[in-house]
Amino acid sequence: MGVDGRLARGVVVRRLLAVDLGPGSVSSLHVRVMAEAAGVTVRTVWKWLAEAREGRLEPVGRQDGFVLDDGLWAVLAEVGGNVAALHRRLTAEGSSPPRDVPSLGTVQRAVKRDVQEGRVLEVASVGRGRVEVSRYDRVLAELRLERAGEGLPVVDAAPAAPREPGTGQDGEENTGPSRGGVRLFVPGGRVVSTAGVAGVVEVVGHTVAARGIGCVFGEPGVGKTVAVQQALHLLPSRVLVWRAVVGVKPGLPQMRASLLDALGLAVGSLSHRAQSADRALVETLRRPGVVFLDDAQRLSPPSLDYLRLLWDEPGTAAALLLCGAGAERVIARAPALRSRVLTWHQVPGLDQERLTETLAMFHGVWEGVDPADVGWADATVARGNFRTWAKITSHVYALSKRGRDVHVDRGLIEQACARLGPYP
């Protein structure tokens, strides 16, 4: 049951009392089911039931305290949980029935006390998470998916994040080794959108528009992260992108902390409070966007099932994009999540027919190089692997700068390939 469907205390105890016809009639299973429905612990529900048997259906405040009845609690839900707005309603002229209005601090303490005791605030959210067909089609058009199938190489050298001011670097001479977290190994390297990348752009765009789960996989170094970064860069600016970084086989606390950090939530105060953290994550994921989790092959089945539970929430509007070499095999070991994956996409190696053209756009050092020499390096060393070609380019660039008018030929390419060692 989702957060928006959780039951309030009054409903819980009344339903339990309805089956409480004698000793043993309310079983632990009854209590556990109602605890899950209310989003509280089993112990809390037993406490509620014990108090209800004594005639106290609602929480009792201190003798000098202030207690929110069901009517005020409903008003608090209407104003989105804003206690100050509730207090303004109470102090407004002509409020009916008349009341002795407590201070704002007293109301805040009463709300906090009720929440700690397990009372659930059901904030109204009409129409959240629903996607109309016309809107879905419009989003697909805005993501320019009709262009993705063309497969024409397009250079996009813009960095994913703005450079720090005052660095004195421009885009072409920037010695930074990466673009959007992808290591390119060579100054002046540019992200190139090939036909393979265009396929990933289409998959990512469709997954985001459908608010689903996608898996991008392939051999190490073929350019999965490059392609996904390019696809995320091409999304409309209003689409939120959250990048989560996880360790190897993270436990649920580490997984939760990684998501909190990616979504910009208070990791320090929430990471050790599971229920509060989960509610914060669920609420944030109601916003349209995409969570990108690279190296998904690191995740254990419990972590994958935790992701599945988050994305099973009815109000979730964010997409989930899992990427990694072997990610498809890891997800296959989590059947519940595997059945929910909307799109599977395998990233191939570099297209052999366009290899020379692609390398020339990746870096100027390859302009005018004999295609036969490029073919030799690919057949003997690179084998269509983008990361290997990036390393070869780095060494070719360094060797070409040793003197004036150094020509990139077969001999120089062989020297560059030799520097990669036995495991390029």
Give the tens place of pLDDT for each residue, 3-14: 333 456 777 788
| pLDDT value, residue 121 | 63
Question: Per-residue pLDDT tens for 107-149?
Answer: 888 887 777 665 666 554 433 344 444 554 555 455 544 333 3
Task: Judge contact between 7 and 38, C-beta under 8 A.
Answer: yes
Q: Which residue has the higher pLDDT, 128 or 307?
A: 307
CA distance 290 to 284: 11
For 382, which DSSP code?
A: I
CA distances from 231 to 65, 178, 227, 321 (A): 56, 16, 6, 11
Q: What is the pTM of this model?
A: 0.57
What residues have CB less than 8 Å from 30, skipping those under 6 apart? 16, 19
Task: Judge contact between 208 and 290, C-beta under 8 A.
Answer: yes
| pLDDT value, residue 152 | 29
Mean pLDDT computed over 25-38: 78
3-class SS string, 82-140: CHHHHHHHHHCCCCCCCCCCCCHHHHHHHHHHHHHCCCCCCCCCCCCCCCCHHHHHHHH
How many CB atoms lie under 10 A from the CB of residue 398? 15
- If you average pLDDT over each of 35-49, 50-64, 406-420, which comes out highest? 406-420
Domain boundaries, the chain: 1-57, 70-127, 134-161+176-346, 363-418
Of the ranges 90-104, 222-236, 389-403, which one carries the lowest mean pLDDT score?
90-104
pLDDT of 24 over the 70 cut: no
What residue has token string 């994956």? 341
CA distance 262 to 243: 6
* CATH hierarchy code of domain 134-161+176-346: 3.40.50.300
Question: Per-residue pLDDT tens for 176-233?
Answer: 344 445 566 777 787 776 777 888 888 999 999 999 999 999 999 888 988 898 888 8
CA distance 79 to 88: 11
Say if strands 154-156 and 341-346 run parallel, antiparallel, or are unpaired: unpaired
Q: Which phi and psi angles does 177 have, rounded to 5°?
A: -85, 0
Six-digit token pair at 198?
Answer: 């265009």
Q: Which residue has the higher pLDDT, 404 or 376?
A: 376
What residues have CB less than 8 Å from 136, skipping those under 6 apart? 209, 210
